Amino acid sequence: MEEVNHLIERERRFFVDGRNAKPWRSERAIVIVQHYLQSESLALNESVLECYGKALFPLTEDERILFQAQTGWGARLRKTNDAFFFTSKTTKNDDTRYELEREIPETTYEGLLKDSHHPHIMKTRYLWTDAQGLTWEVDEYEGLFAGLVVAEVELNEGQTIDAIPPWAGQEITGLGVLSNHSLAMLAEQLRP
């Protein structure tokens, strides 16, 4: 099957030392809450993606083929300021994932959350553009992970980073233990 580029997310991730100047804060801030749902809750009903038996959205033919061909799809709900999104991803390799994402109505978002508690994280995201024109997403975590700052940048096939910003430190691309999903699961385990 030929890969469809809009279904592929390629990114590199870095720790950020947030103790000093924060040049990324001069950019737009987005408050994000991400909830992680049980992956077993996902199903495909003909060409409609469902979660907990609730219809979410129809998939294109390429998306349907991809969903059926891959395993390990996760389920995430995201609230960004006043918008709501459903995302399903599965790993292709360390820096690449297949992704299905759509904006959903607030009622669908709330309906998926109302039946039970779901692990979640909270963060503020800043979008910072470098001299190359790449947009860096700098996430400052809240709650249990307050003080953790991570930057990620999405790249097109074959694209490289000309210069890593001086505030970006150790690369953590592919370290699953530091994924947002893993952080949400850890926060859930440590909840009183």
Confidence of residue 3 (pLDDT cuts 50, 70, 90): very low
Helix (H) or strand (E) holding 61: helix 61-69
- Contact (CB, 8 A) for 43 and 56: no
Q: For the chain, which residues make up each domain, given as ranges?
A: 5-190
- Given a cut of 60, is residue 185 above it in pLDDT? yes
* Predicted local distance difference test score (pLDDT) of residue 6: 59
The residues pairing with 35 across neighbouring beta strands, listed in sequence order, are 77, 120
Q: Tell the residue number behind the tokens 């508690």, with chain if given.
A: 117
The arrangement of strands across the sheet holding 48-51 comes to 42-45, 48-51, 54-58
Architecture of domain 5-190: Beta Barrel (2.40)
* Predicted local distance difference test score (pLDDT) of residue 5: 46
Q: What is the pTM of this model?
A: 0.89
In this structure, what token pair is assigned to residue 5? 């580029």
Q: Tell the residue number behind the tokens 């909270």, with chain if given.
A: 122
- Contact (CB, 8 A) for 151 and 138: yes
Cα distances (angstroms) measured from residue 66 to each of 58, 61, 159? 13, 9, 24
- Per-residue pLDDT tens over the stretch 30-70: 999 999 999 899 999 999 999 999 999 999 999 999 999 99
- Given a cut of 80, is residue 192 above it in pLDDT? no
User: What is the rounded average pLDDT of the residues 17-31?
Assistant: 89
User: What is the rounded average pLDDT of the residues 85-106?
Assistant: 92
* Predicted local distance difference test score (pLDDT) of residue 126: 96
